[in-house]
A and B are shown apart, each in its own frame.
Chain A
Amino acid sequence: MTQTSATDFIEAFLSDPEIAPCVAHVERLPARDAEWAALPTDLDARLREGLASRGIGRLYSHQAASYSMVRRGEDLVVVTPTASGKTLCYNLPVVQSLLEEPSARALYLFPTKALSQDQQAELKEVALGGALPVRVYTYDGDTPDSLRVAARDTGRIVISNPDMLHSGVLPNHAKWINFFSNLRFVVVDEMHAYRGIFGSHVANVLRRLLRVAAFYGSRPRFIFCSATIGNPGELATALLGRLVSAITENGAPRGERLVVFYNPPLLDPVQGIRKSTATESEKLAVRMLRAGIKTILFARSRLRVELIASYIVEALANRYTDNGRIKVSPYRGGLLPSERRAIERGLRDGSIQGVVSTNSLELGIDIGGLDAAVIAGFPGSFASFWQQSGRAGRRGGLSLAVLVASSAPLDQYIIAHPEYFFGRPSEKARIDPDNPYVFMDHMKCAAFELPFREGEALAASASLAAGEAEGKAASESAEALGFLEEEGIVRRTGGRWYWSAAGYPSEKISLRSATADNVVIVDTTGGGSRVIGEMDRPSAKELIFDNAVYIHMGRQYIVLKLDIDNRSCHVVEKDLDYWTDAVVKTDIEVLTEDERGIVEGTQFVLGDVLVRTQAEKFKKLRFHSHENIGYGEISLPPEEMQTRAIILLLGSGSAGASLGFDEAGGEGADSAIRAAVLSGCGRLLHDLAPAFLMCDPRDLGRAERVRDPHFGVPAIYLYDKYPGGTGLSEGLAKLLGKAVAAARERLAACSCSGGCPSCIGVDFADRASMVDGSLVKERVLALFGAMEAAHGGRS
């Protein structure tokens, strides 16, 4: 698309009478010129030539800064937005050092396998396609045995991912003796992906890596690369456990970019019903594709990706009977690698014009430049939003990103506060390397890898002074080892702790989810048996239960049998006019009360809870209209986990007391209203919390109890969806004030009369039609108001 046609299209687009009324905000981000620096003077002539052959005679300022910091021997993190030449930030200093020291090795870690394959191609170019004496190997689950040996023995740069490092490399470190003995650099790309539970695990994997490297006498330096987040230095420091300095200035040029907030039209202001995000996003994408604009559409779940892609293909098929001119593909996790590769290729070579993706394309997979990004619903974090919108934009051109708000409270809150969106540095990524489950998991792995000496720690925390930190870390490790000894899996003898169990601990520990075991989805259409995907066990129980509709590559399948014991799910292809949605029941048991406090006039408790979830039945929802056309039963055993929760107690002596939320239970309508008020309050807090915590709303669970069996008063539970927690409950305790203010503001601004999907929901209307929605809304508002007032009175 040429510059003028893009400008023309965008102008026409924004002034279109069908679109203009829905545009809530347009932000014009101006183009920026490059800041240049000369090539380093000590750069090897061969590297210099290699760069020249790619037309590179100078560097961006951040590339040059990285080079000199790495060469000085510092650990660093460099912030590199999409398309800012980040690979040279680490490839240049690393390859230069490897050329100077012929035995030196480097490890590159990418969060996914797909990324490491891209990286190898890129590196071949830097390493002059094999002309330099720097052998590069990818070492992951797909690497054949024959190449594994070569990678271990002769790989100067080994490209892998944290999962492989965790379960393949570290447990077998003795086979990597040459590699570890000479390990000089570890590159951690896409660092922002390492947050939440994954980041908490990866921090511990890096602790183990450092421990093993030290066994072989090496102390590698670290280079992290990250998308724009609020705390790159802090996250890198938390991941590595030692101080990492950050390069946040970026010298790459940027084209002009337009960010548009689009709020789908309100169909019924009183009930707060908006046109669906999916169909509105589809409409916008189709409009762009028809104008010849290469477009990427991001949706929040696999299911949505499939739905929207099929809607788009349908819409286009009507207009183009030759249907070969515009090709649109879904792209999401669960596709086979070959299917993914084909789509990436199509986007690069232009044979595919549009793609509908989950955030799996958010990470730096090379798909070439696109003109526009449509983001169907706020992706849960500002960093994700910027990564996704950065998918559109080529150097020197004008690009467009459209956020299509959903009716969720978070989206509606954000779309009404652009200043907050554009003014604020991106939010902070959180990890909790000290999640006791995660820590115990990695203590097992570490004990397997090398016996612990008496007084030895897995790692010291970077936030404390050296002497103090060591003592603390040693006592934590000793506590964990004592625990493992009681469990009979380590043995303490002769001044050491030895792994003493038959298993291979990392095999059972997944870095990405609560459980390591995946369910394999098998297509048995026509008596065949073909694996078409996989899914983790807890998700499988909620998504691919018997009779569920599973959508894969635009095709519909119906689940014949989910066999949890054998981790398999048999499906057959079937044309249906509906999809399925499980209704999940949650039970909570309080295990410990670790901390009590008062925030916003409300008593809260932080502690461990046991959460039991069970999918009991499912709804059938018709395509397009999304209307409910029936129910079915699900009979699967419940999932259980222990995690961290923040519990708000609204009993006497709290803000709740003023609203009759005392310990006396009411009858009939009264108690139904109380339940509705509590659930509306919990829902708003839950849905708005991710604006302040860098997490996805799906990372938090919630539950409300009108008369809590443990505390005896009304209670709202917000809990971390990962066993042991990832710091979200603790983070929320500090941010509760902000969340309450945002919740009150959102509710006050809502146009509905008695609750809607954009505020407190309408669930209560199902349960007891006698509940008056406007009364509920009024009371929730009053409750938030009382909380804020109590806060005001206190401060």
Chain B
Amino acid sequence: MAGDLRKRLERLRKLARAEEDARSLGLSRASELPEPVPLEGPAPASGDRGLGRREGGPEFLKGWDKLGDLVWSRSLRFKDYLGEEIDPLPFNAIGRRRPGQASGLAGPVPTGRLRFFDLETTGLSGGSGTVAFLAAIGSREEGDFVVRQYFLEDYPGEAGFVRELLSALEGRTVVTYNGRSFDLPLLRTRCVMNGLIPPRAEDIDCLFAARRLWKSVHGGASLGLLEREVLGIEREEDVPGSMIPDIWFSYIKAGDSPLMDVVMSHNADDVVALARLLARAALVFEAPLSWLASASLDRAGLGRTLLALGRQEEAEELLEAALGDGHEGAGLVLSRHYRRRGREADRRRVLGMLPESPRSWIERSKFLEHVERDNASALALAELALASAWTRRLEEALRLRVERLRRKLGMT
């Protein structure tokens, strides 16, 4: 093999140092990209690490209690917006669920049992090298909404940190925003990495309902956006999520990080916003028809959710109202719904109201072929749709449909 690996590594290391020196003298190669701008002053060399760390922790840990080795905690009190109980069904009728996970919650849950949960992590793409360093768990306590936060000061404290979270969530109903895809799998991974048994808590992920209700109206469904647009709350000071990992890294490497306190309030604000958004959405599901004439939420999305819950009459009313205002998606959902119920007259009426578009041509073509038995018109619409197919799979399906119709018409 090619010489001594250790020596080759040493050389690479020397080379990297030499390049570092050259760079600092302004001798960088033209083709090299500039270094990313650090968040703050240069990190001290590795020998100095930890010098910036004060007795009893850095400034931002004032007001925090030390729970154990490298683990800190604090509690914050907020105004409580939650009612006495909440119906989890509308939230869990949609969205992602892992196999083997508790299959939905039956009946109302007392809001005292809810734990609003959010993690700040060292990366956004998950994987076993991504660590959670900050957690907020919100709950109702004696008329207040209390957010308890946990902070991991450095890697070796992780097992203790995770144990704290597990005992705070144990036997509760965990409410998250995108937690099924991110926070909960990440927590499970951290458990495995530390030899702990992953939690099997019931959960509600608000993201799916929020998407249905507000995404199309506000052009997005991030918690920050909905907090501003739906709840009308402006945060005073915040950091973009993409900066958060580096803020913790500069803390562990340099001993302090001026933006850490902002990350900490960001984390607490997130669970407060989450609780308020859940309350708002629950209100919508309680009396959906009061939104019949409203443009501030997506009536088609709400209608679809109610359909999934079997609340057919409310769903139809909302979907018809949206279609009446020219909402194509609502019309397509209704058309399929009426087909399943065998209500072809309603379906015909709905299809007549649909705006001209490839999707409506496909739906009308199906109706013409299978209900009206008008293959010639069905073919015309299918061909029209084929000409503007937007995915290869759709193109393939439409081509088959066109071929079949042609055969039926004796055209081949």
Contacts and interface: CB of A to CB of B under 8 A. Distances in A.
A190 interface: no
16 contacts: A172-B189, A174-B128, A434-B1, A434-B2, A434-B5, A436-B12, A437-B12, A479-B13, A488-B43, A488-B249, A493-B155, A494-B154, A498-B155, A500-B252, A500-B253, A730-B2
Contacts of A449: 128-129
Contacts of A479: 6, 9-10, 13
Given A730-B2, A730-B3, A174 B192 contact: yes
A378 interface: no
Interface in B207-261: 245-246, 249, 252-253
Interface stretch (A281-289, A403-411, A637-645, A766-774): A637-645
Nearest to A336: B392
A475 interface: yes
Contact of B2 (A174, A496, A504, A644): A644
Contacts of B13: 479, 482-483, 486
Interface string A519-549: 0000000000000000000000000000000
Given A149-B99, A493-B155, A502-B122, A436 B9 contact: yes
A450 B123 contact: no
A494 B156 contact: yes
A303 interface: no
A427 interface: no
B127 A476 contact: no
Nearest to B18: A591
Contacts of A432: 1-2
Contacts of B127: 171-172, 448, 504
A463 B5 CA distance: 14
- Chain A to chain B: the 8 pairs with minimum beta-carbon distance, closest first: A448-B129, A494-B156, A502-B245, A174-B192, A174-B189, A499-B129, A434-B5, A171-B127
Contacts of A476: 5-6, 9
A418 interface: no
B155 A491 contact: yes
Contacts of A247: none
A597 to B, nearest CB: 13
Interface string A473-512: 0011001101101111001011010111111110100000
Chain B interface helix/strand/loop/mixed: helix
Contacts of B11: 436, 592, 594, 608
B188 interface: yes
A447 interface: yes
Given A432-B1, A483-B9, A638-B31, A507 B155 contact: no
Contacts of B12: 436-437, 440, 483
B388 to A, nearest CB: 11
B125 A448 contact: no
Nearest to A154: B99
A175 interface: yes
Given A436-B9, A608-B11, 16 more contacts: A149-B98, A150-B99, A172-B189, A434-B2, A436-B12, A449-B128, A451-B155, A485-B46, A488-B43, A488-B253, A491-B252, A494-B154, A502-B124, A505-B129, A638-B31, A729-B2
B112 to A, nearest CB: 32
Given A434-B2, A479-B6, A727-B2, A174 B188 contact: yes
A762 interface: no
Contacts of A637: 31
B310 interface: no
Nearest to A494: B156
A591 B246 contact: no
B8 A436 contact: yes
Interface in A700-738: 725, 727, 729-730
A439 interface: yes
A171 B128 contact: yes
A119 interface: no
Interface of A: 149-150, 153, 171-175, 177, 432-437, 439-440, 447-451, 463, 472, 475-476, 479-480, 482-483, 485-488, 491, 493-494, 496, 498-505, 507, 591-592, 594-595, 606, 608, 637-638, 640, 642, 644, 725, 727, 729-730
A502 B16 contact: no
Contacts of A488: 43, 249, 253
A195 to B, nearest CB: 14
Contacts of A436: 5, 8-9, 11-12
A591 B15 contact: yes
Interface of B: 1-3, 5-13, 15-17, 29, 31, 43, 46, 98-100, 122-131, 154-156, 185, 188-189, 192-193, 245-246, 249, 252-253
Contacts of B253: 488, 491, 500
A503 B123 contact: yes
B16 A483 contact: yes
A475 B46 contact: no
Contacts of A504: 123, 125, 127, 129-130
Most buried by B among A171, A463, A487, A729: A171
Given A149-B99, A174-B128, A500 B188 contact: no
Most buried by A among B123, B127, B193, B253: B127
Contacts of A729: 2
Contacts, number: 130
A491 B253 CA distance: 8
B156 A496 contact: yes
A479 B7 CA distance: 9
Contacts of A640: 29, 31
Contacts of B126: 172
Nearest to B125: A504
Contacts of B129: 171, 447-449, 499, 504-505
Given A434-B1, A479-B9, A727-B2, A502 B128 contact: no
A588 to B, nearest CB: 15
B396 to A, nearest CB: 10
A228 B83 CA distance: 73
A374 to B, nearest CB: 34
A507 B2 CA distance: 27
Nearest to B156: A494
Contacts of B7: 594
Contacts of A483: 9, 12-13, 16
Most buried by A among B13, B122, B185: B13
A592 B8 CA distance: 10
A188 B307 CA distance: 50
A450 B128 contact: yes
A414 to B, nearest CB: 27
B8 to A, nearest CB: 4
B122 A500 contact: yes
Contacts of B128: 171-174, 448-450
B133 to A, nearest CB: 11
Nearest to B3: A594
Contacts of B98: 149
Contacts of A499: 129
Given A175-B185, A483-B13, A501 B1 contact: no
Given A448-B129, A450-B128, A502-B246, A175 B1 contact: no
A347 B123 CA distance: 47
A472 B3 CA distance: 13
B183 to A, nearest CB: 14
B2 A502 contact: no
Contacts of A150: 99
Most buried by B among A472, A479, A482, A595: A479
Contacts of B125: 504, 507
B204 to A, nearest CB: 20
A124 to B, nearest CB: 22
B217 to A, nearest CB: 27
Most buried by A among B9, B98, B126, B246: B9
A457 B12 CA distance: 19
A608 B9 CA distance: 12
B156 A486 contact: no
A660 to B, nearest CB: 34
